Each structure stands twice: as structure tokens, then as C-alpha cells.
A and B are shown apart, each in its own frame.
Chain A
Amino acid sequence: MTEKLLEIKDLSVIYKTDEETVYAVNDLNLTLNKGETLGLVGETGAGKTTTALSIMRLLPDRTGRITRGCITLGDLDITRASEADMRLIRGNGISMVFQDPMTSLNPILTVGEQIAEVLQLHRLDMSPEQKEKRVDEILEMVGLPADRKHEYPHQFSGGMKQRVVIAIALACEPQLILADEPTTALDVTIQAQILKLMKELKQRLNTAMLFITHDLGVVAQICDRVAIMYAGEIIEIGTTDNIFEGKKHHPYTVGLFGSIPDMTKATRRLNPIEGLMPDPTAPLGGCKFHPRCPQCMEICKTAKPLNIIDGTHAIGCHLFAGGAGHDARINLESTGGAE
């Protein structure tokens, strides 16, 4: 049965400096079930990483702030938890795999020590021998020979370093893994190896995963559900089937797919979205996508669209409002204040 693990409600995050305020995430709603992989897709600056950092409460201290909303993991409200509680959760309940394996490992500790570090923090009941054994086990699990635990990160290739990072993330068997572009820095053949590994481990350990990426190809391979983010908002969410095979889409999603050269078809010109993402320091009224949208209507400039829900598929766009013959219901609790 599907059981809710993570729930994000009306999350808003800002980065504030003396000069300006960046509205990074705006009223974001998201749920993630146990054992499920949700792909969070969007371009640079869409707020994907900020969302993940908010879940870990790792936003930069002085500038980043959650202004609204709550994030709950099981029964715990992460936005209100104490720093001491958060320490128990990080690496234990939730762990994170970062984008760049070259910089996310400590260059002066051996990889064995770095994996053991997590166990030392969270598995106080384990004896040193048990910890040692667990390090070996986990290394084997991610496909690295256990006798390489005495080596330093620079002695490993990029793909192997990413395996070490995954080993660290899995050491305490967390309920949730936040994977922030885990394969972007890797070559395609290595990327395929890592994706396969993550898929197998996730099935074996029944871990839920929030998979952040900008590569729709990767999403198709690994995710159960997909959320498309634009300018700090989720503009479309659904099962992988809904997003890749569905007929109705947000115009931004259409543009995103139109931008990828299709290997199976020969097209001379791509159909990209014209223009750029809006300035996050000056929030736009209405739909965030309206200045670039080819199907922009008058209402888009003033009113924020509600999420139109059709079964498992939700689209935040005025085009699909009013049903138009479809069985569309308006989700009243999703986003407020449009009328």
C-alpha cells in the first residue's frame, strides 16, 4: 500500500541579502510515498536544489530562510525541529547524494573513514568491529572491492567516487534519499552503471528517493512519478506515464520536450522555448511562465492558475481550467488566493 513518507505544504523559501531578495521556492506542494522515486525536473535556477536543501534544513544560515509552509517526514515537522533533532535525521532518516562527487568527499580522509563517520554518529550501539564489517558490506553493495577502503578519494575515478558517496548515503539505510543530479558529472556509460545501481539498491532497501535532474532521459529510466518545476513552482506533476505518454501538458513541459533532439527521429530544427526564466528577485504576477508562453491568455497575466487534477496528473495552467469536456476537478487546497 502507498503510505505517505514526506509531505511538503505551501513551502516558500527566500534568499535575502542586503541588496535583494531572491524568491527561490514559491508555495510548493509535494508528497512522496514510501519506496517511491519522484523525479524533480527543471532548469538551472528553478529551485530544485533549494527544495532539497530545505528538506535537509541545510539552507545557508544567514541568507536562506523558509518563510512559509511546512515539511513533514512521518510525524516530524522538519521546519520546526530543533537543530539537535535534525542532526539525528541527517544521514540517518534522510541522506543526500550531491551532484559533484569530486568535491563532496573529504580529500584527507580515506573512503572507509568517511563511511564509518556516518555510523559513528548514528549507530552508537555498534562495536568498532561491527562498524568495520558494515563498511565492508556497504562497499561491496555499491560494487567496490572492500580492500579499497584504505584509499583516498583522489585514487578513485569519478564514477567510483559517486559510488562511495552513495555508500555513505546508504550506510544507515535511510527512509529517504535526496539525490541532487547524482549522474550529471559522469559519462554516459558510467551514468548507466550508477543508475542501474541506484535502482537495484532502492528496490532492495525499499528507500524512497527524490531524484533531482534536468535530464528527462534519466527520469524516464528511473522515476515512478515526475514533478516539473519552473521558477520555484511545480507546474506539472504526474506518474511517469502521465508526463511522457499523456496528451495534456503544461506549455513549459511541451517546450522542454521540444528542446531535446530526438534520437529516434530526424528533425532539422528544434522547438525551444524562446526567452529566459523570469528574474527571481522580482516575482511576477499571474502564471510565472506567461511571458514565454506561446498560448498566453489575458487571465494568465493576472491570476495564478490552480492545479487542475485529472486522476494522478496535475497541471497548473489556465488552459485546462473549466474542464472543457474532461473530467477535471479543481483542487481547492493546493494553491490559494487566485480568485
Chain B
Amino acid sequence: MSVPLIETKGLKKYFKTPKGDLHAVDDVNLKIEKGKTLGVVGESGCGKSTLGRTILRLVEPTAGEVLYNGKNILDYGKKQMLEVRKDLQIIFQDPYSSLNPRLTVSEIIAEPIKVCRTITDKAALDDKVYELMETVGLAERLVNSYPHELDGGRRQRIGVARALALGPQFIVCDEPVSALDVSIQAQILNLMMDLQDDRGLTYMFITHDLSVVKHISQEIVVMYLGQCVERASSEELFRKPLHPYTQALLDAVPVPNLRHKQQLTGIIKGEITSPINPKPGCRFAARCPKVTASCTKEDIQLREIAGGHYVACALY
């Protein structure tokens, strides 16, 4: 089998707090094949964004490995890291706060190129900026506009153009469409899928929106309190969710279809518990409708149940 483009092994990120360690990402193992999209879903506070940032070393992991093309990038020095950053990019959630308000559209898009000095010629750089703007569907006349003059959809296009500037292999998309209206959201999703088809990009798509994740990804990881509780192909996960949390999550999504009226009885009670010094055992146990005594005894490992379908649950 070929080497996956991105792989994490036992990746952990603990934040120190006065009350103890906050387990934001706890022992996550995942693989992303080249040209594919891995969706990461979970509710706020489950560590999805931290996972994305840790993979890119925007926050340093506490333990574990991040392999890019089979090499552990955590061993890289500053110079090597700058080199590899050209291949690893990120699109942020909020197109309002992730763009520097004092820079024009062209300056924002050109910035990564200037930092990495891949193009030094002024005219060539301008051409590149225009080319990128065209790729993401930004009109040429906007080149000297400031972000505040543009709407959310256009701003997010700038974010996409900036991520593409260095010709990356892998892009972490951290909730790129959640701040946008549905019609604009659909435009950006189409754009991202077209780019993937054209350039063979690999995405890690972080979102809390299950319909979006199903639409865009081939494989999905469900996270709960820093841990991966289920991993399966997108089709399999929606057809046959195994973990009670995944089931509850799927049940809770309001479907815009009258024949699929929600069973309001199946809603899980309670809320996400504290990620600070979590107790051993399954972290979902406190809210789980199928909880048994064995759930809280010891940590439950992610195990393969059927071909490519992994779940961390004592029921299986």
C-alpha cells in the first residue's frame, strides 16, 4: 500500500490550566490518502480545530507524530518547516477575523509568496495574484479593495486564494463555510471541490455541519472530547453509525424534509463534560443511553469492527 499523505500517530495536545491538564486532543490516529478528503466532525469544544492546528504545528503537540509523506514533521527545524509549510496550508473559519484589515486583497494573497520567496519578480508576482483571483472567482477590479469592503463569501474566497498561493498539497479547512449563508456556502463548497478535482488537493475538512461533511468527504472521523470515537467511510458512517454518540449526533440534525421528521424522543440529555483531567473510561458514558458498568472501568480503544469501520465503544 502507498504511504498516506498525512498520518498521525498517538497525537496528543494537552493545555495546562490552573485546574489541571485540558485534554484537547487525546491520542488521535488517522490517515489521509492523497487526493481524498477526511471530514472531522464534532461539537464545539471537542478538539477538532486543535487537531487541525496541531497537524500543521501551529500549536506544538504534547506527544505523538505527524507524518507527511512518511516523514515526521515534528522533528523538522525552522528552515525545513518553512519549506514544508508550502505544502501544508489552512483556511480559517471566520473570514472576518482571519484577514488583515490593513492589507488589500492583492497584498493578502501575495503575502505567503513573499514570506517563502517563491516568486521575487514584481511583475510575475502580480500575474500570480491575478491568476489566483481568477481561480477562486474574484473579479480583477477588487484587487485593491480592503476586506471590509467585501461580503463574507468574497472574503472566504480570498482565504482560499491565500491558501492556494504556494501550490499546496494538503489544506486543513477549519469550518470554512460555517460563517456563510447557505447559497454562498454552496458556492464555496463547489469551488473547493472543483479545485480538488483540478489540482489533486487533499483536504482535512473540519466542521460541525453533518450534511456538509457528508457532501464533501470520503472518510469521516467523529470526535468527542478530544478522542476519535468513530472512523468510517462517509457512506458507511451515515448508513450504519455504530457509536451511540454518532447516532445521537445524526438524529439531532434537523433535515429539511417533512417525511424525515425528527424523532424528538431520541435526543441525548446533558451536555459535553469538562475536558480537564477526564476520568478513565468512555468520555461519552455520562450522556450515553446504552451505558453499562464496563464503560467507565477503563479507556476504550478504537477497534476495527468491519472493513475500514473503526469504533471506540464497549458495545462492540
Contacts and interface: CB of A to CB of B under 8 A. Distances in A.
Interface of A: 43-44, 157, 159-160, 187-193, 195-196, 199, 214-221, 240-241, 244-245, 255-264, 266-274, 276
Contact of A188 (B181, B253, B269): B253
Contacts of A271: 186
Nearest to B45: A187
A263 B254 contact: no
Contacts of B124: none
Interface residues of B, number: 43
A195 B214 contact: no
Contacts of B261: 220-221
B185 A259 contact: yes
A270 B215 contact: yes
Contacts of A261: 186, 189, 211-212, 214-216
Given A192-B262, A259-B183, A270 B253 contact: no
12 contacts: A43-B182, A220-B257, A245-B258, A259-B182, A263-B253, A263-B255, A264-B255, A267-B215, A272-B185, A272-B187, A273-B183, A276-B153
Interface string B1-29: 00000000000000000000000000000
B186 A44 contact: no
A257 B252 contact: no
Interface string B79-118: 0000000000000000000000000000000000000000
A1 to B, nearest CB: 25
Interface in B174-189: 181-187, 189
A271 B210 CA distance: 18
Nearest to A159: B271
A192 B255 contact: no
A244 to B, nearest CB: 5
B273 to A, nearest CB: 11
A191 B256 contact: no
Contacts of A191: 252, 254
Given A216-B256, A260-B182, A272 B211 contact: no
Q: Which 9 A-B pairs have the closest CB atoms?
A: A217-B254, A272-B186, A261-B215, A259-B186, A216-B256, A192-B252, A187-B43, A270-B186, A43-B181
Given A216-B182, A263-B255, 12 more contacts: A43-B182, A188-B210, A189-B43, A192-B251, A195-B264, A199-B264, A215-B254, A259-B186, A260-B186, A261-B189, A270-B190, A272-B190
A100 to B, nearest CB: 14
B277 interface: no
B59 interface: no
Nearest to A259: B186
A271 B255 CA distance: 18
Interface of B: 43-44, 151-153, 181-187, 189-190, 193, 208, 210-212, 214-216, 235, 238, 248-249, 251-258, 260-262, 264, 267-269, 271-272
A195 B262 CA distance: 11
A258 B186 contact: yes
B64 to A, nearest CB: 27
A211 B251 CA distance: 22
A276 B249 contact: no
A130 B110 CA distance: 66
Interface centre among B210, B211, B215, B253 (most CB of A within 10 A): B215
Contacts of A157: 271
B93 to A, nearest CB: 14
Given A189-B267, A276-B153, A214 B253 contact: no
Contacts of A215: 254, 256
B212 A188 contact: no
Nearest to B254: A217
A261 B257 CA distance: 12
Contacts of A190: 43, 271
Given A192-B267, A199-B264, A261-B211, A221 B182 contact: no
Given A192-B262, A256-B183, A187 B44 contact: yes
Given A244-B257, A261-B215, A193 B43 contact: no
Contacts of A219: 256
A189 B248 contact: yes
Contacts of A159: 271
Interface centre among A43, A196, A261 (most CB of B within 10 A): A261
A299 to B, nearest CB: 24
Contacts of B251: 192
B136 to A, nearest CB: 15
B210 A263 contact: yes
